[in-house]
């Protein structure tokens, strides 16, 4: 049985992951309307992954005798100034999510809930990977600058951009 404080913290994280999915879905849709088809596909996939992160938490809370709460979500931004602006927003968002995950892990230790602590390790590893990926993308965009040919190639090749130090081995 989950302690109430752990259940509340997990439900808070469910909302964070659901909002992440919504934000990346909005980014994908924006990229698609800007003719950035490769970026759009990358972000649609990223949005699906965030939904999976949410679902994993929902099922864990329910399995442990808690009650997962499916949250109301805020509407994400509709427009981005540029591709670097979009990916900087994504990187900042992932850094914020990492902070949330670390807080949750901290609560697990304080409350001596080692089962949830163990469950959360997957998220800790995932955050290392997601931040690294976002940083790799920003490095590439900074190198490209305003070169149109470079941006064209970036959009074409984004799906093959991956991190080699990823904790789970997937992009
Ligand atoms: Fe589920 Fe990108 O954090």
Q: What is the pLDDT of residues 10-40, one digit of tens each?
A: 999 999 999 999 999 999 999 999 999 999 9
Whether residue 171 lies inside any domain: the answer is no
Examine residue 170 and state whether it is found in any structural domain, yes or no: no
Residue 170 has pLDDT above 80, yes or no: no
Which pLDDT score is estimated for 169? 39
- Is residue 87 within 8 Å of residue 43, measured between CB atoms? no
| pTM of the predicted structure, to 2 decimals | 0.92
Ligand 1: atom nearest CA of 94 is 2
Domain coverage including residue 39: 4-162
Three-point CA angle 125, 102, 41, nearest 5°: 50
Average pLDDT, the chain: 94
pLDDT in the model for residue 162: 66
- Determine what percent of the chain is predicted with pLDDT higher than 70: 94
CA of 126 to the centre of ligand 1 (A): 7
Which of 151, 143, 130, 165 shows the shortest CA–CA distance to 45? 130
Closest Cα to atom 1, ligand 1: which residue? Answer: 50
Q: Decide whether any atom of ligand 1 lies within 6 Å of the 28 Cβ.
A: no
CATH of the domain at 11: 1.20.1260.10
Nearest CA to ligand 1 atom 2: 94
Q: How far is the CA of 127 from the centre of ligand 1 (A)?
A: 6
Q: Count structural domains, the chain.
A: 1
In a domain, 136, yes or no: yes
The alpha carbon of 112 and the centre of ligand 1 are apart by a number of angstroms equal to 25
Q: How far is the CA of 148 from the centre of ligand 1 (A)?
A: 30
Residue 168 lies in a domain: no
pLDDT tens digit sequence for 116-135? 999 999 999 999 999 999 99
Check whether 109 has a pLDDT greater than 80. Answer: yes
Q: Is residue 167 part of a domain?
A: no
């Amino acid at each position: 049985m989950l302690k109430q404080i752990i259940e509340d913290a997990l439900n808070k994280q469910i909302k964070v992951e659901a909002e992440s999915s919504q934000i990346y879905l909005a980014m994908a849709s924006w990229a698609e309307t800007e003719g950035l088809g490769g970026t759009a596909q990358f972000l649609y996939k990223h949005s699906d992954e965030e939904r999976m992160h949410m679902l994993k938490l929902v099922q864990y809370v329910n399995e442990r005798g808690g009650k997962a709460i499916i949250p109301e979500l805020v509407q994400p931004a509709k427009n981005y100034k540029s591709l670097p602006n979009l990916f900087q927003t994504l990187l900042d968002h992932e850094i914020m999510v990492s902070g949330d995950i670390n807080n949750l892990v901290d609560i697990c230790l304080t409350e001596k809930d080692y089962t949830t602590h163990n469950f959360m390790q997957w998220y800790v590893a995932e955050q290392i990977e997601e931040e690294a990926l976002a940083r790799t993308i920003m490095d590439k965009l900074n190198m490209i600058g305003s070169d149109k040919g470079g941006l064209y190639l970036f959009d074409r090749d984004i799906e093959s951009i991956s991190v080699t130090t990823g904790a789970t081995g997937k992009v």
